[in-house]
Amino acid sequence: MEIVNAAFFDHFINPRNVGEIDEPDGVGVCGDDSCGDWLRVTIRVANGSISDIRFRCRGCSSAIASSSAMTELAAGKRIDEAYAVTADEIEAAVGGLDEAKRHCSLLGEGALRAAIDDFRGRAAATDEERG
């Protein structure tokens, strides 16, 4: 694949927030069966905002760059703002993707939303336990 912009290349060569949070507040996984790419996102939430976010990805350069960009877009945002991060915003953050690689930005959107949904489910269960 020809790298056409510096943002994409930088996120691919120097991905941000790689790894996994120990005892996360939320975990989300999203995959694409057609190509085998998958993304796992872990988040920590403090005072209603994402205070830490990490990812592990199996995929091509577009999947890695998109995942890195997604973490930067979500970090520090309030939960509802992070949930609103879209594949289009992720794609724009890496300077665009070929149509055949657009699914990579969709992985980021899906895994982030799944992690937030998991966080919300855990928080609701804790609230119910408290009575």
Active-site annotation holds for 60? no
**What residue segments make up the domains of the chain, in order of their start?**
6-125
Please report the DSSP string for 67-86 in residue order.
Answer: HHHHHHHHTT-BHHHHHT--
Those residues whose C-beta lies under 8 Å from the C-beta of residue 51, and which sit 6 or more positions away, are: 44, 45, 76
Q: Is the distance from CB of 8 to CB of 95 less than 8 angstroms?
A: yes
Q: What are phi and psi of 41, to 5 degrees?
A: -120, 135
What does the pLDDT read at residue 126? 74
DSSP annotation of 7 reads H
Measured CA to CA, the distance from residue 46 to residue 26 in angstroms comes to: 12
Active-site annotation holds for 104? yes
DSSP annotation of 4 reads -
| pLDDT tens, per residue, the chain with 131 residues | 454 689 999 999 999 999 999 999 999 999 988 888 999 999 999 999 999 999 999 999 999 999 999 999 999 999 999 999 999 999 999 999 988 899 999 999 999 999 999 999 998 887 666 55
- What is the pTM (predicted TM-score) of this model? 0.92
What does the pLDDT read at residue 1? 44
- Report the CATH architecture of 6-125: Alpha-Beta Complex (3.90)
Q: Are strands 49-58 and 37-46 parallel, antiparallel or unpaired?
A: antiparallel
